[in-house]
Chain A
Amino acid sequence: MQRRGNPARLVIALSVATVLAIFLLYTSIAAQGTPSLQPSQLPGHHGRVTLGGKVVGPVAGNAHDTPLRFRLRDRNGTVTVPVSYRGTVPDMFKVDREVAVDGALVNGVFVAKANTLVTKCPSKYTTKKS
């Protein structure tokens, strides 16, 4: 089989290289990712993060006229942080439910980006509480 001088191989190699280059360029410049943290890991982080944890009451405000205020606790810990949020509140948001929200720590309060609050769907594939 004649393999030398096959332009197909060159072009395919170039196509793969182009795809890889686009990928590497984009991921190195734009998609560094947002850190996913729990309240105890927040100190020292000043940029935008995704904060995950369990909702601790009391829950105040309606998220539209006045910000929704609550605290988030580590999934398996005691450290909490106050959260201030505006926007759509998912149906399943309530105390003790696990949620995730994007935002940044400002003067000790986690100020969330609007409409980023998501709750976790609780009933499927979870381990049973013993």
Chain B
Amino acid sequence: MAELGRAALIVSLGLALYAALAGFWAARTRKRRLADSAGNALLAALGATAVAAAVLLSALIRHDFSFTYVADHTSTELPLGYSVSAFWGGQEGSLLLWLLVLTGYGAAAVLLNRRRAPDLVAWTVPVLAGIASFFAFLLVAVASPFATQNAPAQGAGLNPSLQNPYMLAHPPLLYLGYVGLTVPFAFGMGALLAGRTDERWIVATRRWTLFAWTALGVGQLLGAHWAYVEVGWGGYYAWDPVENAALMPWLAATAFLHSVMIQEKRGMLKVWNMLLVILAFGLSLFGTFLTRSGVVNSIHSFTQSSIGPWFLGFICAVVAFALALVFWRLPLLRSKTRLESLVSREATFLYNNLLLVALCLTILWGVAFPILSELVKGESRTVGRPYYDFFLRTFGLPLLLLMGIGPLVAWRRASLRALRRTFVWPAGVAVAVGILLLALGAGSSAPGLIAYTFSAFVLASVTLEFVRGTRAAGSFTQLVSRNRRRYGGYVVHAAIVLLAVGIAGSSAYGSSSERRLTPGQTMKVGRYTLAYRSVAQRRGPNDLEVRAAVDVYRGRTLIGHVHPGKNTYFAEQQVSNEMAIRTDWLRAEDLDVITDQIDPNGTIYFKALVKPLVNFIWLAGVVFLFGSVVALWPDAREQRRLVSRYALPTPAEA
């Protein structure tokens, strides 16, 4: 079986290389049939990669320990779902998933666009195939998932932290996001190579970018929720380089999604959009490099691996190639129009872009700081949470405010009089909410109070937009169906507000307490009293589970029971903290109880945290997904408009 997997990968590499070279030649010499053949080779590469993936999946499910990868990442005691998730639990498997997703995206992009924009696709295929060739080469020559050995009786098992339902969805979603950014990048480069720098590449890739961005966003929120419920430390984001690796391309893609609208509407920011798509794709590669090279310290610790230098070389080559292309095509990237006023929709988009890119680059600086300080001073230094928190507040709060201002400002030029009339309601609501919160004691955290006030402003402005639009359109459904992207975008803005409220609430207004308790003793945290009753243990399918029984009181009223504890996994010989969470749905507040240390005599060192409004963060994920689906939903009316605007006869038709 391993031979089949190896052969499939070699075939995939061959097809990708053919697609890259033949595609390049075909595009250069305008040979339509050869270009079609290159596109077909990319489709076939998907088939070959799917065979390789099926071989690995089958070995994982069968626990075939003659595959080194299977023995290193599963055990016979591992439940089926986690045996499947071990596919992306290690380096080689996750690289194979990357190639599978990449060839999948490539095939779909070719199939959907080859008739609509053949000249653009002709140049896009070699770019996509070139990137696929790199990953196929890594899998064939550097990190093969099909290395074999004499099968041991038992495998090493999967890291207990990864034995969680979230791990079935979180990594694949991140890959859909990371790899999805390849499509707009490849089309952007294809447009430059073809010399077609109008808006067609943006129109062709708009949904791809939106899909990748949605997957990356939802994937990160799932990861945060996993960290919160599974890692057992009561937090959800630690500004760790590996977490930042996913956040940075998401921020760059967010800027890109906004700035392409200016190019579509006003023909401006063409160079900027190219740079953003290069930044987003470059950062998705950099994130992969970061997690596999061991160049920076991370709690996730993906220490020295053999593919780090390959990735670094590839990133340098890709960025140099892309920037050279942009420089070469600068004369074609001139704006059709210019910014007419600093108070206009496009200007607020521009400010939003500056802030998003500034936030993205300051995070990049923080991540790269250990490497840079080592190079310059000979001593590796790291920046911590205060650095990231400072810039999140400094750039994030104005961004939040802009989300409320942007949608209400007119394109091209807005008069002060119109602005006053438009903003009177949202500003009034924000001031009223601010005063109310101040009276309720929210002034203990200035950033928290500002975040809440700005959030009220954004929600009021989004509501106003919906109300005004519904009045004009006649009905709410008519309004949304007429411009799904716009109103889906507003729903996403509401999700970001929920996220901001959740982050501000749980970080600025939380409380915590820790104490050693023997059965019968109590401790207080916030408005809660915890009474430790007893401890018990039971054997699970692949672990020993110890749980404490704790009663939760508010005042003198018993409101529930929680059972925090620890699991000891046999095969992996590791212990995992199992935090207990009690949610107060009315207040969107969590009480988290952690057993920091369990002594054999039943004494437990408890840690308890109260996280106000933390559930708004998870609710934001649902709203975010809903808004993205609304924006992504096919829109026949828009499609007709775009076809009449951009579709040109193909050479054959001409």
Are B381 and A7 in touch, CB under 8 angstroms?
A: no
Contact A31 B338 (CB under 8 A): no
B 380-397 contacts with A by CB, 8 A = 380-384, 386-387, 390-391, 394-395
| Nearest opposing residue in chain A for B91, CB measure | A125
Residues of chain B lying within 8 A (CB to CB) of residue A34? 381-384
* Contact code string A49-72 (vs B, CB < 8 Å = 1, else 0): 010100000000011110000000
Those of B528-586 within 8 Å (CB) of chain A: 566, 572, 574-577
Name the distance in Å between A54's Cβ and chain B's nearest Cβ. 12
Say yes or no: A125 contacts B386, CB within 8 Å: no
Q: A36-B380, A50-B382 are in contact. Are A23 and B362 (CB under 8 A)?
A: yes
- On whether the beta carbons of A36 and B300 are closer than 8 Å, the reply is no
A residues near B445, Cβ cutoff 8 Å = none
Given contacts A92-B574, A121-B300, contact A128 B354 (CB under 8 A): no
Chain B residues near A30: list those with CB within 8 A.
386-387, 390
The contact string, 1 if C-beta is below 8 Å from chain A, for chain B 368-412, is 011001000001111110110011001100000000000000000
Given contacts A19-B354, A36-B370, A88-B607, contact A121 B596 (CB under 8 A): no
A123→B73 contact, CB < 8 A? yes
Query: With contacts A11-B342, A23-B358 known, is A35 near B381, CB below 8 A?
Result: yes
Complex-state Cα separation, A35 to B160, whole angstroms: 31
| Secondary structure call for the B interface | mixed
B270 within 8 A of A: no
**Cβ contacts B67-81/A at 8 Å (1 or 0 each):** 010001100000000
B297 and A100 contacting across the interface, CB-CB below 8 Å? yes
Instruction: Check A31 against B380 for contact (C-beta < 8 Å).
Output: no
Q: How far is the CA of A32 from the CA of B381 in the complex (A)?
A: 8
Question: Which of A12, A22, A33: most chain B Cβ within 10 A?
Answer: A33
Determine which of B89, B305, B306, B354 lies in contact with A123 in the assembled complex, contact meaning CB atoms within 8 Å: B89
Give min CB distance, A19 to chain B, whole Å: 4
**Is A127 close to B, CB under 8 A?**
yes
B53 to chain A, nearest CB (A): 19
Q: Are A88 and B301 in contact, CB atoms less than 8 angstroms apart?
A: no
- Contact (Cβ within 8 A) B305 A31: no
A8-B339, A19-B358, A34-B384 given as contacts; is B233 within 8 A of A88 (CB)? yes
CB-based contact A31/B291 at 8 Å:
no
Verify if A89 is at the interface (C-beta below 8 Å from B).
Answer: yes
Could you tell me if A31 and B382 are in contact, using CB atoms closer than 8 angstroms? no
Task: Please tell me which one of the listed residues B159, B358, B395, B516 contacts residue A65 in the complex, with CB atoms under 8 A apart.
Answer: B516
Residue of B nearest to A50 (CB): B382
Q: Which of A8, A35, A91, A124 contacts B342 (CB 8 A)?
A: A8
Answer yes or no: A74 CB below 8 A from chain B CBs: no
Asked whether any CB of chain A lies closer than 8 Å to the CB of B597, the reply is yes
Question: Chain A residues with Cβ under 8 A from B297's Cβ?
Answer: 36, 50, 52, 100
B440 at the interface (CB under 8 A from A): no
**Which of B94, B301, B380, B599 is close to A98, meaning CB atoms less than 8 Å apart?**
B301
Q: How large is the interface on B (under 10, 10 to 19, 20 to 34, 35 or more residues)?
A: 35 or more
Q: A52-B297, A91-B232, A124-B90 are in contact. Are A12 and B350 (CB under 8 A)?
A: yes
Q: Is the CB of A8 within 8 A of B354?
A: no
Contacts of A88 in B (CB 8 A): 233, 596, 607
Report the Cα distance A36→B380, complex, angstroms. 5
Q: B156 at the A/B interface (Cβ < 8 Å)? A: yes
| Chain A positions within 8 Å of B626 at CB level | none
Q: Does B292 have its Cβ within 8 Å of any Cβ on chain A? A: yes
Q: Does B134 contact A (CB under 8 A)?
A: no
Complex Cα spacing A26 to B391, Å: 9
Check if A124 sits within 8 Å of B159, measured CB to CB.
yes
- Is B605 on the interface with A (CB-CB < 8 A)? yes
Chain B 604-622 interface 0/1 with A at a Cβ cutoff of 8 Å (1 = within): 0101000000000000000
Which of A19, A120, A128 is B301 in contact with, Cβ under 8 Å?
Answer: A120
Q: How far is the CA of A64 from the CA of B303 in the complex (A)?
A: 30
| A116 CA to B351 CA, complexed, in Å | 37
B161 CB within 8 Å of chain A = yes
The answer to the question of A106 belonging to the interface, with a C-beta cut-off of 8 Å to chain B, is no
- CA gap between A127 and B599 in the complex, in Å: 35
**Chain A nearest Cβ from B164, distance in angstroms:** 13
B156, B301, B572, B607: which has the most chain A beta carbons within 10 Å?
B301
Is the C-beta of B158 less than 8 angstroms from some C-beta in chain A?
Answer: yes
Q: Is A15 among interface residues, defined by CB-CB distance under 8 A?
A: yes
Minimum CB–CB distance from B267 to chain A (whole Å) comes to 12
Query: Whole-angstrom distance between the alpha carbons of A43 and B302 in the complex?
Result: 28
Assess whether B347 is interfacial by the CB under 8 Å rule.
Answer: yes
Question: Is B304 an interface residue when CB atoms closer than 8 A count as contact?
Answer: yes
**CA gap between A93 and B114 in the complex, in Å:** 54
A91 and B597 contact, CB distance less than 8 A:
no
Shortest B139–chain A CB gap in Å is: 14
| 24 A-B residue pairings within 8 Å (CB atoms) | A1-B334, A1-B335, A2-B338, A8-B342, A8-B347, A15-B354, A19-B355, A26-B394, A35-B379, A50-B297, A62-B597, A62-B605, A88-B233, A91-B232, A91-B575, A92-B574, A121-B159, A121-B299, A121-B301, A125-B91, A125-B94, A125-B291, A126-B301, A127-B303
Residues of B whose CB lies within 8 Å of any CB of A are 68, 72-73, 89-91, 94, 156, 158-162, 232-233, 291-292, 297-306, 334-335, 338-339, 341-342, 347, 350-351, 354-355, 358, 362, 365, 369-370, 373, 379-384, 386-387, 390-391, 394-395, 516, 566, 572, 574-577, 596-597, 599, 605, 607
Give A contacts to B, CB under 8 Å: 1-3, 6-8, 11-12, 15-16, 19, 22-23, 26-27, 30-37, 50, 52, 62-65, 88-89, 91-92, 98, 100, 118-128
Nearest 5 pairs of A and B residues by beta carbon: A120-B301, A33-B381, A125-B302, A8-B339, A123-B159
